[in-house]
């Protein structure tokens, strides 16, 4: 059974103006130049390869790290590789103020932890490198570095939790 509470180092995706980057589309996450790659294990090296200032993210990220992003993350196409590249790197979860509907559903269907927390960037409670604890069942996010709780997390729905626990929508379907 997968843990419903995880800890990891935060990567807060900020722009050159040190403000959250909103509307990060799937082409910024995983450029269309790499769509011919079908092996998920190879996709991680291209994560954020088209997001100015974050091209070296795959070399720095470590398994279990948490990606903290602004509003409308994953807007654009239904490109599954934009979810799979983070899974390839072993990213523990993406914590987003909001997400594109198709991106969010792709993450849920693949069993990848996509956690919505409307105040995660704008509330100023998380800095790059902070250690966070995220509870998918309750929606609680705690900044272990500062000791402060971050409000507004949305707990996984029952279906999202079941798919996450099963590993994917396909695996979940085989269980029922």
* Residue pLDDT, tens place only, 7-44: 999 999 999 888 899 999 999 999 999 999 999 999 99
Q: Where in the sequence is the domain holding 162, given as residue range(s)?
A: 5-175
User: Where do the H-state alpha helices sit in the chain?
Assistant: 26-29, 40-43, 57-60, 81-89, 101-109, 158-166, 169-175
Mean pLDDT (the chain, rounded): 94
The yes-or-no verdict on residue 152 having pLDDT over 80 is no
Q: Residue 163: which CATH number?
A: 3.20.19.10
Specify the pTM.
Answer: 0.95
* Residue pLDDT, tens place only, 56-78: 999 999 999 999 999 999 998 88
Number of domains the chain is built from: 1
| 43 phi/psi in degrees, rounded to 5 | -75, -30
């Amino acid at each position: 059974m997968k843990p419903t509470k995880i800890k990891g180092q935060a990567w807060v995706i900020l722009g050159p103006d040190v403000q959250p980057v909103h509307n990060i589309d799937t082409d910024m996450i995983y450029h269309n130049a790499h769509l011919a790659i079908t092996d998920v294990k190879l996709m991680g090296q291209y994560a954020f390869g088209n997001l100015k200032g974050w091209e070296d993210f795959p070399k720095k990220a470590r398994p279990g790290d948490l990606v903290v992003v602004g509003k409308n993350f994953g807007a654009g196409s239904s490109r599954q590789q934009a979810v799979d590249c983070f899974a390839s790197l072993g990213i523990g979860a993406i914590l987003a103020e909001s997400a594109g509907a198709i991106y969010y559903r792709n993450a849920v269907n693949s069993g990848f932890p996509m956690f919505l927390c409307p105040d995660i960037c704008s509330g100023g409670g998380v800095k790059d490198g902070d250690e966070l604890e995220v509870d998918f069942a309750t929606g609680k996010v705690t900044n272990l570095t500062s000791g402060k709780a971050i409000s507004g997390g949305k707990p996984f729905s029952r279906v999202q939790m079941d798919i996450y626990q099963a590993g994917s929508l396909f695996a979940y379907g085989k269980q029922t």
